[in-house]
Amino acid sequence: MKAADRDALLAVFGRFRRASIPAAGVRVVWRQEGGQFLYAVKDAKEAQMLTAAELRVGEPLMAAILDARPEANVLIRSLPDYAGGITQIRNCPSFRPALDDALKMIGNRVMLAGSDQPGRIQGILQNKDACIVRPSKKYGEPAPYVLVLGKTPAQATVTTLVLEKACRALLEGTLLGGMKRISFWLLLQKGLTFEGSWETDGLSGALQINEIEGREKVVHCVNWLLEENLIQTAPGAVSVRLDGAHMLLAARGCGDRPLSPEDVVRVRIQTLENDGGIAPSFDLKLQAAIMDRYEDVGCCVLTRAGASSVFAACRQPVPITGREDGDLPGDRTGYASARLRPIIKALGRTVSGACILGNRGAVITGKSVEDVIDRCGTMEDAARRYLGSKVRELRG
């Protein structure tokens, strides 16, 4: 196994471990040159190379899925908690996700099938990149699982994490009165779809001396957010003010490797001109608009964390109730629909520096990277704690 392939597999299992997805339920099949497949079960270090015939014998369903999708190189099977919980809902062949990243990466329906329906599973994965599979004792499958396709191990991993987040929003959203669905076509029309990656003209290799410290701050923040699974990809997630006219913005990275200063671009706040040739997107426009409107903001982060995304799916602010939430002043975060003007106004009305974005995630601002990191962790803890309190209320 090549060192680069080993590192990519280690990154997959590492991200799943940090997201509390048990390695015991993870299987990865990765198409290689010459018709061979890299196959890892439970541990990336124990991966082995299989021929197509060997894969058909050992994993007939996974082999058939990859045969039908030659453009997809990776198929991951895993057992996330919330996706498993979806299989307990009776008469639920599919559901519409309420978060924009799931809509973009999976489609307007998340499909379910029984493990005794291999034909249905293959049919779903001919057109979609993810399928939740219910267990069937008849087929010797005592537990549910998820199948996700991708061009790379990193892409399939991100899709798995996004799917798990969408399942959590559906299940825990009932504690907040139910999630609010969003039109996929409206997302396309408004240009609010999830930015999994950005095409660049090539990021500048020579770093200016006055930018090095700022770029390192962006890198530190992004790597921490990825480590804590508060974001799934880096592009557009973090900005740091460079001076009155410019900001530094994360432009690449999906968790397959630590971000570096070369993955950060300089952006002119007023015009959005940048040294990476990045076309204006919603995230880029929002980061620039916040920096332009609030001169005291030194760092801004767009998160897509699990618990706070439940509030985003239900279009509600996060209550701030405990003494542990001292990094977030006020009694609740702000809330706004995912449009520039409402977000700017909502940030002006809240003293918390944080605002839930409907069907999207959250934006957190602060004077420094350290302030924002503290607020990101505190808001996710507050959201998790509030959802836990609602569960305890139901149990009595």
* Predicted model pTM: 0.92
- For residue 58, how many C-alpha atoms fall within 13 Å in the half-sphere facing its CB? 16
- What would the pLDDT profile of 331-349 be if each residue is shown by its tens digit? 889 999 999 999 999 999 9
| pLDDT over threshold 70, residue 239 | yes
CATH number of 209-395: 3.40.225.10
Give 198's pLDDT tier (boundaries 50, 70, 90): very low
Give 321's pLDDT tier (boundaries 50, 70, 90): confident
Q: Using CA atoms, how far apart are residues 300 and 269, in angstroms rounded to an integer?
A: 13
CATH number of 3-177: 3.40.225.10
CA 303 from centroid of its chain's CA atoms: 9
State residue 255's pLDDT score: 65
Give 294's pLDDT tier (boundaries 50, 70, 90): very high
State residue 191's pLDDT score: 46
Between these two residues, 100 and 327, which has the higher pLDDT value? 100
Q: Using CA atoms, how far apart are residues 335 and 218, in angstroms rounded to an integer?
A: 25
Mean pLDDT along residues 46-60: 95
| Encoded amino acid at 377, one letter | G
Ranges for all domains in the chain classified under CATH 3.40.225.10? 3-177, 209-395
Q: Using CA atoms, how far apart are residues 137 and 374, in angstroms rounded to an integer?
A: 46
Strand residue runs (E) in 129-206: 130-134, 145-150
CA 112 from centroid of its chain's CA atoms: 21
